[in-house]
A = this chain, B = another copy of it.
Amino acid sequence: MFTRTLAAAAVLALLPTPASANLDKAADRAAESDVLAWDFVEGISTEVGPRQAGTEAEARGRVWAVRWLRANGFANVADEQFMMDTWVPGDVMRATVVAPYAQPLEIVPLGNSAATPAGGLTAQVVHFASYAALEAAPEGSLTGKIAFIDHAMRATQDGSSYGFAGPARWTGPGLAASKGAVATVIRSIGTESERTPHTGGTSFADGVGPTPAAALSNPDADNLARMIARAGDRRVMLRLELNSRQIGRTQSGNVVGEILGRDRNLPPVLLACHLDSWWNGTGAFDDGAGCGIIAAAAKAVAASGRPLRTIRVLFAGAEETGLWGSKAYAAAHKGEPVFVGLESDFGADRVWRIDSNFSASDPELYRKLAASVARFGVAPSREVASGGADLNWVREQDGALIDLQQDGTRYFDLHHTNNDTLDKIDKAQLRQNVAVWTVVTGILANHPAPIQRAPTR
Binding site for B on A (CB under 8 A): 42, 45-50, 57, 60, 101-104, 106, 193-196, 218-220, 222-223, 226-227, 230, 281-282, 417-419, 421-424
Contact = CB atoms under 8 A, between A and B. Distances in A.
A250 to B, nearest CB: 18
Given A194-B194, A194-B196, A46 B101 contact: yes
B101 A223 contact: no
A120 to B, nearest CB: 13
Contacts of A282: 103, 223
A106 B42 contact: no
19 contacts: A45-B223, A46-B223, A46-B227, A46-B230, A48-B103, A49-B103, A57-B102, A103-B282, A193-B423, A194-B194, A194-B196, A195-B196, A218-B423, A219-B422, A220-B421, A222-B422, A222-B423, A223-B282, A223-B422
Contacts of A48: 101, 103
Given A194-B196, A194-B419, 13 more contacts: A46-B101, A47-B227, A47-B230, A49-B102, A49-B104, A50-B103, A50-B104, A57-B103, A193-B424, A195-B419, A195-B421, A220-B421, A223-B421
A47 B223 CA distance: 9
A46 B226 contact: yes
A11 to B, nearest CB: 42
A47 B196 contact: no
A209 B92 CA distance: 30
A45 to B, nearest CB: 7
A423 B47 CA distance: 35
A351 to B, nearest CB: 24
Contacts of A50: 103-104
A220 B422 CA distance: 10
- Specify how many copies of this chain sit in the oligomer: 2
Contacts of A423: 193, 218-219, 222
B101 A47 contact: yes
Contacts of A230: 46-47
B219 A421 contact: yes
A60 B102 contact: yes
Between A60, A195, A196, A281, the greatest number of chain B beta carbons within 10 A of the residue's beta carbon is seen for A195
Nearest to A43: B230
A60 B230 CA distance: 17
A300 to B, nearest CB: 25
A390 to B, nearest CB: 24
A419 B47 CA distance: 28
A60 to B, nearest CB: 7
A234 B278 CA distance: 28
A92 to B, nearest CB: 10
A48 to B, nearest CB: 7
Between A50, A101, A194, the greatest number of chain B beta carbons within 10 A of the residue's beta carbon is seen for A194
A421 B46 CA distance: 30
A418 B195 contact: yes
A275 to B, nearest CB: 15
A60 B424 CA distance: 39
Contacts of A419: 194-195, 219
Nearest to A424: B193
Q: Which 4 A-B pairs have the closest CB atoms?
A: A49-B103, A219-B421, A195-B419, A193-B423
Given A48-B101, A48-B103, A226 B421 contact: no
Contacts of A417: 195
